[in-house]
Amino acid sequence: MRVGIMSFAHLHAEGYVYNLRAIPGVEIIGLADDNPVRAAYFAQQFGLRQFESYEALLAEKPDAVIVCSENARHLPLVKLAAAAGAHVLCEKPLATTVADAQAMIDVCRAAGVQLMTAFPMRFSPPVMEVKKLVDSGQLGPVYGCNSANQGSLPRAHQAAGMPDLGRDWFVNKALAGGGVVTDHVVHLADLLRWILQSEVVEVFAETNQVFYGAEVEVETGGLVMLTFANGTFASIDCSWSKPPYYPTWGGLKMELVGENGLAVVDAFKQTITLYNEAAGRPRWLPWGSDANQGMVAEFLAAAHENRTPAITGFDGYQAAAIVAAAYQSAATGEPVAL
């Protein structure tokens, strides 16, 4: 498999390089990015070939590409990749609008290429165990779920001394699509749809800037309530509530209340605490499983076999629809039906 990376705007692109290199038979043909400083920096960091444009990268006929641009720029890159016959793994959220998400699905279907949404938490072993627990019926009917995907303000995303890599777009509404609702709700919305095997029928949301105030133009705190077709209801805390001195960027947790018991999941509990005087604070280093590795492996397997991946463009579309409904609810103060 020959794979190209389209943009390093998203931090996950760096991890995907390691994931790709860990899989036998995979060749990273190089990267392209519309930010020349960013492109040159990461080409040098990882020893990758830097293409002068996305079109030049696609002219090399990669089997697949990973799109890691700013959220609002996913659609044009997916269109280019599909036209070139490359299978696509697109960073989450799939799109900043439902219309763009549908357009991505349509162009990939028309081109006969696979489209996978980057939802790695489906490949987290603790989450997979809970999925098995629910599927087996041991937990009984699930009545409700409290969940949280919290993080720190993603304003800089680069260390001191690094060149400006243009990664402050996460708090730019035009490029990101929004704040914490866009950034964090999609993961848990997808996991809950997957675990419950039911679709969301109603969304109610409240958002604010209780964290960081007017420092940024997007919402930094939010609570989203979901009602599913099977009657289960769920809450999602999607705040950027972790302070700069917190040992890690955030985490993902779920509490599923079933008829037969309670299942509690902390997907990022496997950590080692590093004490470093230069860092000025303790840090948590992850150990154990890497959900991204499982996701990338599934994408490449689906691309190689030209089959539908475990996580589809439709899954990304549904998550985008839930986010759109959350913003509509927050603006009107009323529940929104899906």
- Binned at pLDDT 50, 70 and 90, residue 245 comes out as confident
Tokens of 133: 């627990």
Whether the Cβ atoms of residue 35 and residue 158 lie closer than 8 Å to each other: no
Radius of gyration, alpha carbons of the chain: 20
- C-alpha 195, offset from chain centre: 17
Ranges of H-type helices in the chain? 12-21, 36-46, 54-58, 74-83, 98-111, 125-136, 173-176, 180-196, 291-305, 313-332
E strand or H helix at 255, and its extent?
strand 250-258
In this structure, whether the domain defined by 2-119 belongs to CATH 3.10.180.10 is answered with no
Cα 128-89-295 angle, rounded to 5 deg: 25
Q: Write a three-state SS string for 277-303.
A: CCCCCCEEEECCCCHHHHHHHHHHHHH
Q: What is the pLDDT at residue 249?
A: 79
Q: How far is CA 40 from CA 15, 84, 197, in A?
A: 17, 24, 44
Specify the pairing of strand 233-237 against strand 142-151. parallel
Whether the Cβ atoms of residue 190 and residue 124 lie closer than 8 Å to each other: no
Quick one: average pLDDT of 285-304? 93
Q: Is 28 helix (H, G, I), strand (E, B) or coil?
A: strand
In this structure, whether the domain defined by 121-290+313-337 belongs to CATH 3.30.360.10 is answered with yes
Q: What is the pLDDT at residue 159?
A: 61
Quick one: average pLDDT of 209-222? 89
| Ramachandran angles phi, psi of 203, nearest 5° | -130, 135
Q: What is the pLDDT of residues 82-127, one digit of tens each?
A: 999 999 999 999 999 999 999 999 999 999 999 999 999 999 999 9
Contacts of 297 (CB under 8 A, 6+ apart): 19, 23
Ranges of H-type helices in 22-170? 36-46, 54-58, 74-83, 98-111, 125-136
Whether 172 shows a pLDDT value over 70: the answer reads: yes
Q: Where are the domains of the chain?
A: 2-119, 121-290+313-337
Quick one: average pLDDT of 257-268? 94
Q: Which amino acid is at 247?
A: P
Cα 266-176-237 angle, rounded to 5 deg: 30
Specify the pairing of strand 336-337 against strand 2-6. unpaired
Whether 156 shows a pLDDT value over 60: the answer reads: no
Quick one: average pLDDT of 292-308? 97
Tokens of 189: 């919305």
